[in-house]
């Protein structure tokens, strides 16, 4: 890892998303986001921690970065295929370094 990379995977980072409602209330949501050169989404592809959980959101971002796709259904299908395998554990181990 480098000083600028805290995820263990180039192009994967944990980001905060702030939502301001018309009532003035603010809500803070964290997500793991994947970026790569030529990504069709300028902000990358984000996976919310409150929806997928910390570990699955990280692995989804890592898979998105590996696959370099914005097709969420394809990435979720890949996650389901590797969920309790060594590959899942290997990706998750990168986060904990």
How confident is the model over 56-96, as pLDDT tens digits? 999 999 999 999 999 999 999 999 999 999 999 999 998 86
Q: Looking at the predicted structure, is the pLDDT value of residue 6 above 80?
A: no
Averaged pLDDT, 9-32: 92
Say what the pTM is.
Answer: 0.88
Which pLDDT tens digit goes with each residue over 42-53?
889 999 999 999
- Report the phi/psi class of residue 48: left, alpha or beta, with left for phi > 0 and alpha for psi in -120 to 50: beta
44-47: Cβ within 8 A, 24+ apart: 44/11, 45/70, 45/72, 45/75, 46/15, 46/17
* pLDDT at position 97: 61
* pLDDT at position 2: 55
Q: Which two tokens stand for residue 50?
A: 């409150």
Q: Looking at the predicted structure, is the pLDDT value of residue 37 above 80?
A: yes
């Amino acid at each position: 890892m480098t000083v600028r990379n805290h995820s263990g995977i180039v192009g994967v980072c944990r980001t905060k998303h702030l939502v301001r409602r018309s009532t003035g209330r603010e809500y803070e949501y964290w997500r793991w986001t994947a970026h790569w050169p030529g990504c069709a989404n300028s902000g990358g592809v984000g996976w919310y921690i409150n929806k997928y959980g910390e570990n699955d959101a990280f692995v989804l971002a890592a898979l998105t970065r590996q696959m370099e796709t914005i097709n969420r259904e394809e990435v979720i299908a890949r996650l389901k295929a590797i969920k309790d395998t060594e590959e899942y554990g290997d990706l998750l181990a990168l986060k904990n370094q």
